[in-house]
């Protein structure tokens, strides 16, 4: 499957304005942990009430979600600079500085497939998943940005163009964000569920009431999905919640269990008929997604281009989703880095909000897709089309 997925996305030869591509070399590689949100709580130290406080199980530090975003800056001897969004915070930057950089300096950045394989394989004894692949993602995305700029083409064109002229947005947030999204023309909403197994029966009732209120607010024709952040973390709990929510027409339940509980997800997919099971936001590379597919552990695949191995990895996962007729909905697909695969994949019907309804910094906004009345549109600028400069990245770098 991996071989066929790779061959499905081999690009046609590019017509470069200048044919001396063999002389193109990488001269520098830098990485910065950055701030994407204007939030006062980012980086705030936790306060736990006891050794058994449920918040202790949920504390991710600065290394999960977009709080750990990094930007990789790769320069070449021909004046082309690539910017890549990744994750993993300062730890990922150390991996790039101490490991991946040594495989990149002096080499041709256009051999992206070869470089991905060299970097990934060289991590076999300590990497393969988690923060290493987050670092690799940032590097890989920067290389694709260079390829697009060198060929004077947007990345989505290099992937075969688009299957749609625009793509609907689904907004992710707390219930309080729904009213604002409706006013912006958004018609699809993913509601974040904050309670789970620790909160017991009372938490179940509060969650059902919250989602009943959301359905009443938007009416019967607007999509509602739910994001569980793995807080349900129990198969029986999730099956019971799916039963209680049947009348609300929930489009999917996202990541209710630990990402490692593949057998549990297999059972959810098999036994829950009232909604879909979305999975993969915290999975890595085509190898991890091959396991989800092999075990039928997802109805909807949700790789993140900044975590799963970059565009090189994401395009193979998209091909695997198409081969198995699975929905393909990249996490944070509304970013300029996720948008190319959302546009080119026939399995992708909508893109997750990124910056549009967030309290984002100028840096986040520079990496957000053009939004109009509920839809994202492609960027026609070379590369990913992000309005990034080294100055802007440094201004938002975390120290």
With beta carbons less than 8 A apart as the criterion, state whether 104 and 74 touch: yes
* 388 touches 62 (CB < 8 A): no
Greatest Cα pair distance, the chain, in angstroms, is 67
Q: How far apart are CA 316 and CA 238, in angstroms?
A: 30
Low-confidence ranges of the chain (pLDDT < 50): 1-17
- In a domain? residue 396: no
Q: For residues 149 and 141, give the distance between their C-alpha atoms in angstroms, rounded to a whole number.
A: 12
What pLDDT does 20 receive?
74
Catalytic residues: 331
What are the φ/ψ torsions at residue 370 (nearest 5 degrees)? -65, 130
Single pTM value for the model: 0.93
> For residue 302, which of 292, 196, 242 has the smallest C-alpha distance?
292
CATH number for the domain spanning 240: value is 3.20.20.120
DSSP 177: G
Torsion angle of the four alpha carbons 147, 151, 152, 158, in this order, in degrees rounded to the nearest 10? -70
The whole-angstrom separation of Cα 219 and Cα 216 is 5
> What count of other Cβ atoms lies within 10 Å of the Cβ of residue 362?
11
- pLDDT at residue 1 in the model: 40
Final residue belonging to a domain, choices 134, 154, 174: 154
Are 41 and 144 in the same domain? yes
pLDDT of residue 357: 85
What gap in Å lies between CA 108 and CA 26, rounded to an integer? 6
> What's the confidence (pLDDT) of residue 270?
98
How far is it, in rounded angstroms, from Cα 368 to Cα 355? 6
Whether 147 and 171 share a structural domain: no
Q: Is 341 strand, coil or helix?
A: helix
**Would you state the structure tokens that stand for residue 111, as one six-digit string?**
């051999």
Domain boundary among 154, 174, 191: 154
- Cross-strand partners of 73: 30, 83
Last residue of a domain, one of 154, 177, 209: 154
| 293 domain-assigned | yes
Any domain includes 305: yes
For residues 42 and 176, what is the distance between their CA atoms, to the nearest angstrom?
A: 20
Give, as one character, the DSSP assignment of residue 278: E
Same domain, 366 and 225: yes
Residue 391 lies in a domain: no
Considering the domain architecture, whether residues 109 and 123 belong to the same structural domain is answered as yes
Q: Is residue 9 part of a domain?
A: no
147 and 259, same domain (yes or no):
no
Enclosing domain of residue 29:
16-154
90-137: per-residue pLDDT in tens?
Answer: 999 999 999 999 999 999 999 999 999 999 999 999 999 999 999 999
DSSP, collapsed to helix, strand or coil, labels residue 255 as coil
298 part of a folded domain:
yes
pLDDT score for 42? 60
* 334 belongs to a structural domain: yes
Sign of the Cα torsion 352, 357, 361, 363 reads positive
- Regarding whether 323 and 354 lie in a shared domain, the answer is yes
Residues 86 and 219 both lie in one domain: no
Q: What are phi and psi of 277, to 5 degrees?
A: -110, 120
pLDDT of residue 337: 98
Together in a domain, 336 and 361:
yes
Domain containing residue 62: CATH number:
3.30.390.10
Q: How many structural domains does the chain have?
A: 2
- Domain identity same for 298 and 310: yes
Q: Is residue 211 part of a domain?
A: yes
**Same domain for 177 and 116:** no
- Distance (Å) of CA 349 to CA 65, 313, 328, 341, 358: 23, 20, 8, 11, 22
Smallest CA-to-CA distance from 350 within 169, 131, 198 is with: 169
User: Is there a single domain that holds both residue 191 and residue 70?
Assistant: no
Residues 248 and 314 in one domain: yes
């Amino acid at each position: 499957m991996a071989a066929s997925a790779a061959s499905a996305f081999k690009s046609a030869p590019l017509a470069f304005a200048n044919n001396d591509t063999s002389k193109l070399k990488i001269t520098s590689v830098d990485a910065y942990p950055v701030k994407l949100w204007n939030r006062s709580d980012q980086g705030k130290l936790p306060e736990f009430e006891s050794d058994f406080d449920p918040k202790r199980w949920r504390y991710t530090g600065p290394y999960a979600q977009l709080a750990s975003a990094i930007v990789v800056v790769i320069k070449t001897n021909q004046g082309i600079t690539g910017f890549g969004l990744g994750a993993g915070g300062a730890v990922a930057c150390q991996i790039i500085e101490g490991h991946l950089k040594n495989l990149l300096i002096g080499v041709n950045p256009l051999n992206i497939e070869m470089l991905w394989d060299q970097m990934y394989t060289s991590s076999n004894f300590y990497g393969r998943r988690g923060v290493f692949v987050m670092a690799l993602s940032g590097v890989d995305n920067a290389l694709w940005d260079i390829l697009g700029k060198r060929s004077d083409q947007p990345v989505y064109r290099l992937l075969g163009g688009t299957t749609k002229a625009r793509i609907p947005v689904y907004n992710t947030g707390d219930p309080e964000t729904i009213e604002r999204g409706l006013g912006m023309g958004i018609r699809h909403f993913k509601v974040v569920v904050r309670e789970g197994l620790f909160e017991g029966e009372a938490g179940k009732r509060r969650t059902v009431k919250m989602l009943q209120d959301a359905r009443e607010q938007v009416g019967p024709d607007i999509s509602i999905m739910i994001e569980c952040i793995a807080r349900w973390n129990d198969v029986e709990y999730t099956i019971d919640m799916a039963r209680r929510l049947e009348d609300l027409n929930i489009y999917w339940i996202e990541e209710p269990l630990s990402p490692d509980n593949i057998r549990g997800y297999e059972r959810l997919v098999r036994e829950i008929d009232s909604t879909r099971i979305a999975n993969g936001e915290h999975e890595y590379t085509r190898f991890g997604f091959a396991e989800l597919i092999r075990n039928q552990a997802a109805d909807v695949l949700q790789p993140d281009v900044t975590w799963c191995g970059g565009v090189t990895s994401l395009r193979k996962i998209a091909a695997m989703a198409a081969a198995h007729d699975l929905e393909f909905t990249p996490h944070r697909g509304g970013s300029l880095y996720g948008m190319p695969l959302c546009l080119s994949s026939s399995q992708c019907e909508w893109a997750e909000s990124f910056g549009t309804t967030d309290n984002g910094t100028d840096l986040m906004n520079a990496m957000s897709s053009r939004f109009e009345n509920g839809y994202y549109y492609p960027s026609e600028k070379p590369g990913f089309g992000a309005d990034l400069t080294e100055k802007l990245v440094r201004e938002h770098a975390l120290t």
